[in-house]
Amino acid sequence: MVSTKKEHLKEKPYNVKYIVDPTQNELRELALKFTPAIMKTAYGNVDKFSRLKARMAKYTYIIAPESEKSNYSGNVIDPAKAQELIERQRAYIEKQGELIEINGYYGYGKGAMPIQWLYTKEAANVAGMQQVLAFSRSAIEPKEQLKQPFKPKFRLVYTAGLSFPDMPGNLGIFVDLENWTTYVMGSDYFGETKKGVLRMLNEYVYRLGGLVMHAGAKKVKVGGKALTMGILGLSGTGKTTTTFSKQGELAQPIQDDMIVLWPDGTCTITENGCFAKTYGLTPESEPVIYQGTIHSDAWVENVFPNPDGTYDFSKGRLTPQEVARLKKMLIDSGAPSENVEAFISGKVKIDEVVNEDDIPQDGWDFTVWTQNGRSIIPMKAIKDAASFDNIPQVKSLGILNRDEGPDAAMPGIVRFPTPELAAGYFMLGETSKTSAAGKERGKTRSPFTQPFFTSLFGLQAKRFSELASKLEGLETWLMNTGYVGGNAKDEAQGKALKVKIPHSSAMLEAMLSGKIKWTLDPDFGYQIVDVNAKENAELLKKVPKEILNPEIFFENNGRSADYRAWVERMKKEREEFLNKFNVDRNIVEAVSHR
């Protein structure tokens, strides 16, 4: 393994003019001048239509020989080939002649990691977004250190305008773990810069005995005692929503996306802001995120703009008139001009290129608005955010599973009686999936809900069970944020139940307050709410018993056989999934519960 104690990186790696730590206003000016497909909105913030609508994991490579591929969770690229591409990036950068340089930290206190981000000017919006999430030097360094040149341990180099016709997807993200540098080439999606750093942090922290977790966090006060709650979840499961909802006497958001568990049982945060999904956003459902997104200091990506410059957070299919209004922005973001013209003119109707599930054919993505709209919100714009100077110990840690479909049968909330069982379900990372581009649907599993762990995924489960045993009084749980017995269409027809935000808040409130009377689920070994216990009467007024124990829903609807089939299939699939990653046998047996 490469040491984590490598010397600091060379201060100025390219022969160009550096625009060092520009202000947010200066970055907005650069973005509006040099970034394609960007506009100023009625709120005073900017909205960028990105060409790519999601991270490209399949085009992400660890720089390592093919002979070492078995040491990593993802793709590798031969060092010689990688170096050739890195030199092509260097030539592109030096031809451009300027780089935006953002110096700052991920983490606060003992977890602070000095990082340098470098961007060509067409990615000025990405630089602005990243600067919001990073802690500034002045927030971390003492006055004497501020007088010295910045000494980064990590670096990320981002060239949105450089594509590679000779590479799959015409782009590449190359991760050099020996020199703690990531090179992003050809992507204009913000997630590649954010996760590029967090991917390196995952490896760095693991080598130090800790574990980075794809989790939001909030400070909660119950019975006069403060604790930190961590919430794991894949995109779309409601991680941000849950992080910013209220439970107990007080709930203050601390972190939106990534936390670090250390060997001494402490927890540190990573980012100084929030990268939130905006699809379906309303002032009523998510007031904190809504107000943050329309704040003038926010940066916005892929949110539909109304003619007056306000946002439509629930846009689906576009009309020819709407495409005509946004024609230049859409073409600048990669929509084929001939397809745009054909749609505007009426030669091609939307039903000819979009199926009944609103999934467009390749080349016609612009006709259905992406559900992966995002906003970057600084923590200072988030009302009642917790102080980073006094983060309580983690006492509650859970995972969200947005179950959906005819076999959706996960209980509204379950509690894990052992670290091994929690580690197993965190490793499974189950949910229902709609990809950022809107073309993939169905159930999925992702180890620990994150593809950013560069070493073998199974190592996360073992490390978590070790760390969890050191966290005194830790309660671990899983919450279903989706459906029971179907999907949205089924619910509309009275054939399924939706787990709504008030249900989730009520379940978490009851659990944190210690008011739930639990009973053992005989099939899976986790604990579920005992719907027959008088102690749970108040919770049952707020949450249907069929959500708390979905077996009742299936029985009442004459579908008991479907439930039993689901139980057997889940046991089999989960065991196979865990074994695929060589997960520790004690953890596999806890999940199998045979």
The yes-or-no verdict on residue 4 having pLDDT over 80 is no
The yes-or-no verdict on residue 437 having pLDDT over 80 is no
Return the structure tokens found at 1.
């393994």
Q: What is the pLDDT of residues 528-566, one digit of tens each?
A: 999 999 999 999 999 999 999 999 999 999 999 999 999
Phi, psi of 304 (to 5 degrees): -70, 125
Domain 212-266+382-592 architecture: Alpha-Beta Complex (3.90)
What average pLDDT does the chain have? 93
- Transcribe 150-164 into DSSP letters: P--SEEEEEETT---
Q: What is the pLDDT of residues 223-251, one digit of tens each?
A: 888 999 999 998 788 888 888 887 767 78
Q: Is the Cβ–Cβ distance between 428 and 449 less than 8 Å?
A: no
Q: What is the pLDDT of residues 424-435, one digit of tens each?
A: 999 999 998 654
Q: What is the pLDDT of residue 438?
A: 47
Higher pLDDT, 86 or 264: 86
The residue among 133, 126, 138, 257 whose CA lies nearest residue 202 is 257
Q: What is the pLDDT of residue 357?
A: 86
Q: Is the Cβ–Cβ distance between 47 and 300 less than 8 Å?
A: yes
Return the structure tokens found at 391.
């983060």
Domain ranges of the chain: 17-208, 212-266+382-592, 293-374
Q: What is the pLDDT of residue 8?
A: 64
Q: What is the pLDDT of residue 251?
A: 85
Domain 17-208 architecture: 3-Layer(aba) Sandwich (3.40)
Q: What is the pLDDT of residue 383?
A: 77
Residue 5 binned pLDDT confidence (cut-offs 50, 70, 90)? low
Span of 58-67, 443-452, 585-594 with lowest mean pLDDT: 443-452
Q: What is the pLDDT of residues 190-224, one digit of tens each?
A: 999 999 999 999 999 999 999 999 999 999 998 88
